[in-house]
Amino acid sequence: MSQDRLIKLGCKDCKRINYWSQKNRRKVERKIELSKFCKWCGKQTVHKEVKK
Ligand SMILES: [Zn+2]
């Protein structure tokens, strides 16, 4: 069975969910943090994994 799991990436500034990603639990132990463009903030911000 696949260990991949769908996760949400939320903007650190406005907390909105802008991206979806997949995480492989066996390879990625740390929380994902990516610098991505937030259309709500109008700039590049840090997007962190969000727990539902
Ligand atoms: Zn934002």
- The ranges assigned to domains in the chain are 4-50
Half-sphere exposure of 7 (CA within 13 A, CB side): 21
How far apart are the C-alpha atoms of 25 and 37, rounded to whole Å?
A: 25
Q: Ligand 1 centroid vs 29 CA: distance in angstroms?
A: 25
Residue 3 C-alpha to ligand 1 middle, in angstroms? Answer: 29
Could you tell me the distance, in angstroms and rounded to a whole number, from the CA of residue 2 to the centre of ligand 1? 31
Please check the confidence at residue 6 and state whether its pLDDT lies above 70: yes
Predicted local confidence at residue 28, as pLDDT: 62
Q: How far is the CA of 18 from the centre of ligand 1 (A)?
A: 8
**4-50: CATH topology:** Rubrerythrin, domain 2 (2.20.28)
pLDDT surpassing 80 at residue 52: no
pTM: 0.76
